């Protein structure tokens, strides 16, 4: 591990002085190889964590989009920013920090890595990634991809280590900052260790997004989006809609239509292109989800669809009569479980949405867009999506508040997370 850290530092000393053109050319070559072999990469992903193959292929495509975005925009994002002051010249110089550590999850094994790594290396940093232990082949494939693309040795390195070694890495003087996507527990541990050594962290943690359906919403549109918002990746997504808040006058209709739509999802072999729902990534994850559902049912929730587990497979599940003190409302449910709650007024819906320790995002479906637009600041979230599901986009900053973490990935804000914003003042 020590050798890899010194390799990363040596690479940084050269890489930080390369031109944006050189970095962009390598990034475009990486994107080309990613596209040429995307079935291989997607199949690895599906094999290791169970994502349906069509969704794995879409994840690889999204990584390619990200490469294009930063290849085109990194230079303009990091150009000197000139500020008018009393001096002859004043500007901000954006400079890389050095060797960065990434601690990455299994649920989007390529996308999560790429959205940390691509802006970081385009800014001139080098990166070391401790990937999730249950996606080792994907982790190795990503490192090989960077080397095959022509990136110098040490720009990107995979660290096949256990989680208990992360603290030792953070303590190393050559590690300048840490980005973690994962659980609240893991984020807290990393932040504590990084704080001890005064190192910057970016944390993208859990979420329990609300999906609000107002009385005036286009119900067919809302239901179609609601299915994908909850069930994509078999529900294993931090930004998935998990708490469905539906106006009381349309609640019964929504339940009937949503139940029908979810029941028609195809389950089975994740390598079959027609499969829409696969097993969860591990048996223990399905067991945890089962406990949350059973505890909520014991407290009065009613299962109207699904609710059963077989090993790592958990049926797409819908619960009604859900109240805020139940696990399926107040905890993050990492699987295909939708908790439905009715509301009377938009004020009540906003209050219910905010009644969460998490704050990644919220979706609101309505015909009265101006009303919700005027209430955007009332939502304690990192994102508000009106008539759409919450999703990440290279062009927009991504991140949360409260126990969902801090810092932003993607867009210009994302590339600025791991640079030194250096003030330069010149007087003659």
Q: Which of 123, 15, 176 is nearest to 419 (CA)?
A: 123
**Is 100 within 8 Å of 175 (Cβ atoms)?**
yes
Q: Which two tokens stand for residue 194?
A: 């990084």
User: Would residue 54 be called left, alpha or beta, if left means φ above 0 and alpha means ψ between -120 and 50 degrees?
Assistant: alpha
Token reading at 421: 């914003």
Return d(Cα 186, Cα 119) in angstroms, integer. 23
Is residue 67 part of the annotated active site? The answer reads no
* Cβ(376)–Cβ(363) below 8 Å: no
Between CA 74 and CA 411 the distance in angstroms is 9
H-helix or E-strand containing 242?
strand 241-247
What's the number of CA atoms in the CB half-sphere (13 Å) around residue 185?
2
Spatial separation of the C-alpha atoms in residues 378 and 114, rounded to whole Å:
32
Write the Ramachandran bin of 51: left for phi over 0, alpha for psi from -120 to 50, otherwise beta: beta
Give the ranges where 18-110 is alpha helix by DSSP (H).
Answer: 20-36, 38-49, 53-77
The DSSP call for residue 203 is E
Place of tokens 């009265």: 368
Q: Which residue is catalytic, options 214, 238, 331, 332?
A: 238
212 SS3 class: strand
Phi then psi for residue 182, to 5 deg, are 170, -150
| Rg of the chain, C-alpha, whole Å | 22
204 is catalytic: yes
Query: Which structure tokens are listed for 382?
Result: 């990192």
- Asked whether the CA dihedral 391, 206, 284, 180 is positive or negative, the reply is positive
* Catalytic one of 204, 332, 381, 409: 204
Residues 46, 52: Cα–Cα separation, whole Å:
6
Active site residues: 204, 238
């Amino acid at each position: 591990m020590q050798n890899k850290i010194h390799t990363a530092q040596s690479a940084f000393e050269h890489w930080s002085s390369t031109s944006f053109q050189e970095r962009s050319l390598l990034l475009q070559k990486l994107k080309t190889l990613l596209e040429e072999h995307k079935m291989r990469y997607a199949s690895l992903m599906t094999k290791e964590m169970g994502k349906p193959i069509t969704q794995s292929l879409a994840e690889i495509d999204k990584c390619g989009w990200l490469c294009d975005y930063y290849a085109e925009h990194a230079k303009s994002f990091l150009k000197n920013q000139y500020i008018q002051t009393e001096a002859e010249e004043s500007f901000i110089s954006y400079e890389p920090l050095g060797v960065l550590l990434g601690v990455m999850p299994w649920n989007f094994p390529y996308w999560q890595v790429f959205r940390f790594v691509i802006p970081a290396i385009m800014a001139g940093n080098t990166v070391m990634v401790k990937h999730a232990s249950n996606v080792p082949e994907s982790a190795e494939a990503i490192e090989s991809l960077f080397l095959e693309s022509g990136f110098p040795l040490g720009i990107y390195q995979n660290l096949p280590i256990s989680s208990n070694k992360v603290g030792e890495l953070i303590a190393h003087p050559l590690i300048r900052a840490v980005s973690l996507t994962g659980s609240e527990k893991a984020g807290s541990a990393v932040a504590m260790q990084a704080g001890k050594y005064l190192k910057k962290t970016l944390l993208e943690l859990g979420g329990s997004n609300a999906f609000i359906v107002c009385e005036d919403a286009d119900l067919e549109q809302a239901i179609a989006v609601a299915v994908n918002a909850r069930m994509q990746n078999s529900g294993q997504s931090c930004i998935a809609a998990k708490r469905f808040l539906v106006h009381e006058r349309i609640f019964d209709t929504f339940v009937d239509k949503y139940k029908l739509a979810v029941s028609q999802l195809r389950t089975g072999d994740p390598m079959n292109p027609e499969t829409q729902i696969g097993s969860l990534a591990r048996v223990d994850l399905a067991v945890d989800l089962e406990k949350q559902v059973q505890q909520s049912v014991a407290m009065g929730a009613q299962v109207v669809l699904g609710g059963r587990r077989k090993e790592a497979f958990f049926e797409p599940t819908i619960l009604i009569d859900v109240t805020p003190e139940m696990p399926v409302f107040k905890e993050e449910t990492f699987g295909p479980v939708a908790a439905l709650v009715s509301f009377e007024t938009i004020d009540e819906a906003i209050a219910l949405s905010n009644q969460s320790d998490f704050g990644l995002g919220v979706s609101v479906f309505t015909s009265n867009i101006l009303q919700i637009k005027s209430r955007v600041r009332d939502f304690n979230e990192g994102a508000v999506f009106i008539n759409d599901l919450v999703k990440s986009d290279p062009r927009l900053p991504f991140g949360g508040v409260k126990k969902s973490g801090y810092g932003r990935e993607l867009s210009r804000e994302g590339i600025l997370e791991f640079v030194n914003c250096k003030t330069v003042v010149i007087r003659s």
